[in-house]
Structure 1
């Protein structure tokens, strides 16, 4: 039975960190594919995917950059592939939607509200930059709103739901949970909801244990037995949040999108390293990790054969 199994998601590259921050951040299609395959082999049931320009590592939502790694990952794993619709906070909604629209994945991420997305504090942590776009993009986040209006969310749901794609609802604060409840009440989303509560981004809720408990209590009250809860922790508290959530019955997300670290002062060399640590935490609590097919059962997904990948 899949019930009670812990789903591990891995976000292998994302759009937050830049190439100068870690030599291990996947950038090219080959690097992203190998990172995803390694994460799946280590125990991740779901792989959350972004693309980057292979020349300078800039986040890029061109579907032609997704296709090479999507096909390789699908050929070499049975993992659930989850394509971002968040892209980078500076992108337009039309840019962000292009890959999910083309490939009709089993899962797509969906950000549940507009917010500040402050990445500029990272400017003080690094001195040498490979590319001019890196510090410029971080600085620009001082005056940036990550736009996810009700109209945006409605349009995204109307576009992707008929394709059979379900959603990783990314909720960075309490208001995002209430926004999701609004769409559930209107019948625009359906259970089981896959609710990814996100901790530690400037502009969203913090990463204190009380913040995690608060988001879980709120989601329980709003959604009852209609949702599957997952957590991601940005930065150094990634694994402590994994442990806390797993002990509370949650699913977990790791990966170099969310944290570059494998321990104090030690960069993670692979995404698989973080997945293996999360799996060890989960199994150390006497819990079992879900396989990709068990994750499909838990989340009521359409199956890999019904995508355009």
Structure 2
């Protein structure tokens, strides 16, 4: 693992899992996404991971026209690296999931490293009043519909985005097997180091959120990638902050944001993404870790630069 340098804070601003009924603070409209993304960058996030929402009812949308209602505004107001989803949402086609990245030609996109069960249906059991009709059925659909990321899909997306646009990737690894899938594509030259490996723990269907699981993933990644990779950690839900601290203690980077957890602490909703960024930044600085700027993150990850995007 590449470690010993400054910590990159990624903020995942809205995602596609949480629904409007779960929190009044979840950003939905382009104005809300812009405001919260810029505030998160001002608080210390070097990377902003972005999904889009239908501004009328908050459901996830792959429409690049919606993305373009906030991407240029974010770029005008801050220097953070913009990381566009290619995971989209369960049920979206691959063309839908790649549409925004094809339009925006970003520095960075997410890349989920395997087809898997992605169970968010338990969230439907906690809500008694729904703001919109689509929400409950959307969550319950994850009982029967997997998140699809086949070898063919990964290779097609990685080859196109890196070859056409010079885009690099946040490799989202929800289990140890996903690390071996990444190694397969690295060995074939489909993807190039340094690799930003986002270890995702705590999603139902993926690896559990125990710290020993993270330590095991780091050990496997070290064997596979040597000094050619950066660790970052996404702890889902209540595991967000504890696992971020473990990542930092191991020499890695961190990811927070309302995509991953709606909470700031036990029983307390986060009122913004910036609150979570500020909290983890304070913790990191108390640990003696320095926070990376966007340009420092670009240098570490060998990104093409913010002037070379299409928004």
Q: What is the TM-score of this pair, normalised by structure 1?
A: 0.98
TM-aligned CA deviation for residue 212 of structure 1 = 1.1
Output aligned runs, 1:1-309, within 5 Å.
4-162=5-163, 163-309=165-311
Deviations 1:62-107 (A, max 9, x none): 0000012101100010000000000002211111000001111000
Unmatched segments (≥5 aa) in structure 2: none
**SS of residue in 1 equivalent to 2:69:** helix
Unmatched segments (≥5 aa) in structure 1: none
Deviations 1:36-84 (A, max 9, x none): 0000000000000000000000000100000121011000100000000
Question: In structure 2, how many angstroms separate the alpha carbons of the residues matched to 1:149 and 1:285?
Answer: 39
**SS of residue in 2 equivalent to 1:169:** strand
**SS of residue in 2 equivalent to 1:139:** helix
Deviations 1:113-154 (A, max 9, x none): 000000111111111111111000111110011110000011
Contact kept in structure 1, 2:83 and 2:108, CA below 8 Å: yes
Question: In structure 2, how many angstroms separate the alpha carbons of the residues matched to 1:238 and 1:258?
Answer: 7
Contact kept in structure 2, 1:9 and 1:47, CA below 8 Å: yes
Contact kept in structure 2, 1:3 and 1:298, CA below 8 Å: no
Question: In structure 1, how many angstroms separate the alpha carbons of the residues matched to 2:120 and 2:49?
Answer: 20
TM-aligned CA deviation for residue 3 of structure 1 = 6.2
Question: In structure 1, how many angstroms separate the alpha carbons of the residues matched to 2:201 and 2:35?
Answer: 27
Deviations 1:207-259 (A, max 9, x none): 01111111111111111100111001110111011111101101000000000
Cα RMSD (Å): 0.9
Question: In structure 2, how many angstroms separate the alpha carbons of the residues matched to 1:70 and 1:3?
Answer: 32
Contact kept in structure 1, 2:4 and 2:251, CA below 8 Å: no
Q: What is the TM-score of this pair, normalised by structure 2?
A: 0.98
Question: In structure 1, how many angstroms separate the alpha carbons of the residues matched to 2:211 and 2:110?
Answer: 24
